[in-house]
Chain A
Amino acid sequence: MSSRPELQAPPDIFYNDAEARKYTSSSRIIEIQAKLSERALELLALPDDDVPRLLLDIGCGSGLSGETLSENGHQWIGLDISQSMLNVALEREVEGDLLVGDMGQGLGLRPGVIDGAISISAVQWLCNADKSSHDPRLRLKAFFGSLYRCLARGARAVLQVYPENLAQRELILSFAMRAGFAGGVVVDFPHSTKSRKEYLVLTCGPPSINTSVPTGKGEDGESCSEDESSGDEENQTVSISDRHRPRKRQKITKKGKGREWILRKKEQRRRRGDDVHPDTKYTARKRKPRF
């Protein structure tokens, strides 16, 4: 079975009591959620004036991400489709207000009232059609349209997402842009399969200095290890992709692992003393589908 939760069951089924329990018992999950939330809050770039804001946490789940907002003094409203996850948030006595709701149905909030929104690992769920009545495009449209409306002008939304592939990321981003948002994707640790994280950083309203996309961590990757905890944050530089940039480069790297790459890897392993098959004309040759 796929390791992607999105392909296993609808979110209100996948995030059942057992899954929700992990959000109180697994220190790894807790740590990752906290890190992602802190980074999202940083990317929100709220004015540096110590004034507590009214924020939204979309797919707030067990409230781990909300706790980061509370720790920084903010008030928040959290929305989640899973009652089991929200029960964990209740147990945890989070300070924000919780709502059961489906972001794909649109957010029922008054226009222009929210100072910023974060979402941790939730929005990619909209790309799945879990019911026959679900059309991912309509749901993405309802979500981004309502998100745009409820945010104050100039406010940001930072959505950390795990798109399944390039097409999914493009789909999500295109609906954000269509709703009127400016911004793009920030990728932290792009060369690490484990640590790689992407954030849609969206700004509401007319473009300003505020709408430029901030820099990602660890683009050059020299210092970036595969280990979640050992990124050297000081040395890391930019990775930006936004809608003003052609996506060609990414498409090329996507085709990726060709003959050259495989030969290089084999050479590396030979140098390490591993037992490696000799290179022949068959190496990295495309296989027929029936193979």
Chain B
Amino acid sequence: MRLLTHNMLSSNIKGVANGFPLGIEVEKVIEKQVELSADFLRNLFPKIEWKALVDAARTMGYAELPEEVDSSMLDSNEFLTKFHHALLELHLEEGALVCPETGRRFPVTKGIPNMLLHEDEV
């Protein structure tokens, strides 16, 4: 799972009012290179919760993202490269996602989070 997905996921356990962002427990992170698309990044940027991305990237061992951003930075190649790397090249391979309200852990194995809810959580 990449941080792109982490930035969109939210715990939907019954009764949870704010399930975002999910905490990250890291056991293993891997990196995979992918081609950068500035168009994709620019289109997606307004939908990103920036603070959550910065924190998640730091948890995954990548601390290069600026704390503060504005859309003018999307003209900078240096910024795009970092944004791209954090969003699409870091994978949580083993570990867990954690509901911020209930502390419920969603295990991540072979890069796949298991988001299935128990019956009493639906």
CB of B116 within 8 A of CB of A81, answer yes
Per-residue contact bits, chain B 41-82, to A (CB 8 Å; 1 contact, 0 not): 001100101000000000000000000000000000000000
CB of B39 within 8 A of CB of A99, answer no
CB of A75 within 8 A of CB of B11, answer no
- Residue B117 at the chain A interface, CB threshold 8 Å: yes
Closest A residue to B114 by beta carbon equals A100
Segment from A27-35, A47-55, A221-229, A233-241 that makes contact with B: A47-55
CB of B47 within 8 A of CB of A97, answer no
Docked complex Cα distance between A99 and B92 (Å): 12
Please report which residues of chain A, range 174-231, place their CB below 8 angstroms from some CB of chain B when the two chains form the complex.
none
Q: What 20 additional pairs, Cβ within 8 angstroms, besides A98-B112, A108-B11, A110-B9? A: A51-B39, A51-B40, A75-B40, A75-B88, A79-B115, A81-B116, A90-B110, A90-B112, A98-B111, A99-B115, A100-B113, A101-B115, A101-B116, A105-B12, A105-B116, A108-B9, A108-B19, A115-B43, A133-B122, A146-B12
Residues in chain A near residue B83, CB distance under 8 A:
none
Number of interface residues of B (CB under 8 A): 31
CB distance from A139 to the nearest CB of B (A): 9
- Residue B4 at the chain A interface, CB threshold 8 Å: yes
CB of B10 within 8 A of CB of A102, answer no
Residues in chain B near residue A114, CB distance under 8 A:
8
Closest B residue to A89 by beta carbon equals B112
Docked complex Cα distance between A90 and B7 (Å): 22
Given contacts A90-B112, A102-B116, A108-B11, are A97 and B19 in contact (CB under 8 A)?
A: no
- Residue A159 at the chain B interface, CB threshold 8 Å: no
Return 29 A-B CB contacts under 8 Å, by A number: A50-B39, A52-B39, A52-B40, A53-B40, A53-B43, A77-B8, A86-B112, A90-B110, A97-B1, A97-B5, A97-B111, A98-B111, A98-B112, A99-B113, A100-B112, A100-B116, A102-B116, A105-B116, A105-B122, A108-B10, A108-B19, A108-B115, A110-B10, A110-B20, A114-B8, A131-B119, A133-B122, A146-B12, A150-B8
